[in-house]
Amino acid sequence: MGKKVVIQRKGQTMKEGTIGKWLKKDGDFVKAGEPIYELEYDKATCEVEAPAEGTLRIYVEEGSAFPVGTLVGEILKDGEESSVKTPTAEKKETVQEPVKKAFGYGISASAKRLIRQNHLSVDDIVPVNGKRIMEEDVVAYMEKAKTKATPLAKKMAEANSISLEEVAAGRADKMRAADVTEYMNRREGADEEDRRVPLSAMRKAIAKNMEASYFHIPVVTYSMEVDFSECMKLRNELNEEYKKQNLKVSINDMVLKAVAVALRKNSEINVSLDGNDVVYHKGIHVGMAVSVPGGLVVPVVRNTDKISMADLSKETKRLIQKASDGELTGDDMSGGTFTVSNIGSKGVDMFTPIINGSQAAILGVGRVQEKPVVVNGAIEIRPMMVLSLTADHRLIDGSPAADFLGVIKRVMEKPILMFI
């Protein structure tokens, strides 16, 4: 029995993963520790290494999702046989038919593999040595088949200055006139046709989580305008102080800190629903929504209320960089007790965010813009920001939600409270 290759658990909340891409081919020799496939899970991607040295056997296709622990392949040493007769897959099974001998010819192992991978008929392949079909025989057959076409197809291709190799695109069967016509239509309408792209594993995860939140959680959104003047002054002073450390505090860093202080004062917001139980979290771990190519991820700043502003700023930048590089792990995105979504930099004034997972609330942050406001009876131009709190009404009523939002406003308008 070989060494099993399974869907590995990469985070506390991970339940299933998707084979994003096999980095090795079925039958390849791999070394222990060598990356063999890309695993997509909970909006993150990582490479999974070979658990042992040997020949890799692949049992599932790319793009398939399976529960943690599912067998997706094996690594066999010389003389070892596979522990399964057919691939195991929850959603899709890929059973390879055995390659039979053709007209008494023998077939090498590499030739068999190539025939299976390209769905060829062994009866059409004749070995050069007249005895045994080798890999080079299969390759030669495929090269020849690429340009195999009916006379009419050849005439149409020649008349329209079309390369038969382009039309073939790796197919092994004979091309017909209809194939050339289809290629011409596809080429001419390439700029006009709609493009159909399957959902990525990340978008599937986002869709699943957002759908569950939207349809199963009764929510109310509360909005409040905040004067960002004092926060802006403090931010400028901090950035001057941190200049030697090459560190800049962002607007979002200030918001995260204010939220953490408010959660410490309003523990009934720092909760989640687990079945029929309300879980009051001891730690304050604020997640921040980060846009990445293809979707959205929510890395978590742990103990947000306890760390210094400098450390908070360093941590947010570290996590954002990991998100940008596609290197976030399940642990980076698990354990959040509250989420902040800030799209103010996109020019959005306010919006209604959707609650993340089992958390009780999420804060939406709009842009900072100068507005005329009344201050002590006089009109002044101040940098204003709209905060929108979406809360699960099963857990949080209107009054405590408003109180919590009011504390955030008070802390941001008197930011010295962040350090008390």
CATH number at residue 182: 4.10.320
My answer on whether 249 and 396 are in the same domain is yes
My answer on whether 387 and 328 are in the same domain is yes
What is residue 192's predicted lDDT score, i.e. its pLDDT?
A: 62
The average confidence (pLDDT) of the chain is 84
Mean of pLDDT values over 251-268? 97
Q: Is 50 within the bounds of a domain?
A: yes
d(CA 277, CA 147): 67
Mean of pLDDT values over 29-34? 91
What is residue 223's predicted lDDT score, i.e. its pLDDT?
A: 97
My answer on whether 218 and 292 are in the same domain is yes
My answer on whether 361 and 254 are in the same domain is yes
Q: Which domain holds residue 181?
A: 147-188
My answer on whether 63 and 211 are in the same domain is no
Q: Is 359 within the bounds of a domain?
A: yes
My answer on whether 244 and 376 are in the same domain is yes
What is residue 347's predicted lDDT score, i.e. its pLDDT?
A: 94
My answer on whether 264 and 161 are in the same domain is no
Mean of pLDDT values over 233-255? 94
CB of 337 closer than 8 Å to CB of 281: yes
Residue 364 banded pLDDT, cuts 50, 70, 90: very high
My answer on whether 347 and 239 are in the same domain is yes
d(CA 130, CA 93): 36
Mean of pLDDT values over 64-90? 75
Q: Is 118 within the bounds of a domain?
A: no
What is residue 93's predicted lDDT score, i.e. its pLDDT?
A: 41
Distances (CA, A) of 411 to 32, 117, 401, 418: 53, 63, 16, 7
135-194: per-residue pLDDT in tens?
Answer: 888 888 776 665 567 766 777 777 777 776 667 655 556 667 777 777 777 776 655 667
Q: Is 172 within the bounds of a domain?
A: yes
At residue 222, what is the residue type?
Answer: Y
Structural tokens at position 382: 């101040």
My answer on whether 237 and 383 are in the same domain is yes
Q: Which of 4, 43, 3 is nearest to 20 (CA)?
A: 43
What is residue 119's predicted lDDT score, i.e. its pLDDT?
A: 64
My answer on whether 268 and 170 are in the same domain is no
Mean of pLDDT values over 325-329? 85
At residue 134, what is the residue type?
Answer: M
Q: Is 7 within the bounds of a domain?
A: yes
Q: Looking at residue 61, which CATH number applies to its domain?
A: 2.40.50.100
102-143: per-residue pLDDT in tens?
Answer: 445 677 777 777 777 766 666 667 777 777 788 888 888 776
When divided into structural domains, the chain yields a total of 3
d(CA 118, CA 115): 5
Higher pLDDT, 38 or 288: 288
Q: What is the largest CA-CA distance in the chain?
A: 101
Mean of pLDDT values over 301-330? 93
Distances (CA, A) of 253 to 23, 232, 340, 360: 38, 12, 10, 21
What is residue 30's predicted lDDT score, i.e. its pLDDT?
A: 92
Q: In Å, how far from its chain's centre is CA 370?
A: 36
Tracing tokens 């400028």 back to the chain, one arrives at 236
My answer on whether 219 and 362 are in the same domain is yes
Mean of pLDDT values over 274-278? 91
Q: Looking at residue 375, which CATH number applies to its domain?
A: 3.30.559.10
CB of 43 closer than 8 Å to CB of 34: no
- Reading phi first (left if > 0) and then psi (alpha if -120 to 50, else beta), residue 124 is in alpha
Higher pLDDT, 93 or 210: 210
> Which of 128, 160, 188 is the last residue in one of the domains?
188
Percent residues over pLDDT 70 in the chain: 84
> Which of 29, 62, 96 is the last residue in one of the domains?
96
- Give me the active site residues, please: 393, 397
My answer on whether 321 and 206 are in the same domain is yes
Q: Is 114 within the bounds of a domain?
A: no
pLDDT at 23 over 60: yes
User: Looking at 35-39, 147-151, 168-172, 309-313, which range is the least confident one?
Assistant: 168-172
Q: Is 111 within the bounds of a domain?
A: no
Q: Is 208 within the bounds of a domain?
A: yes
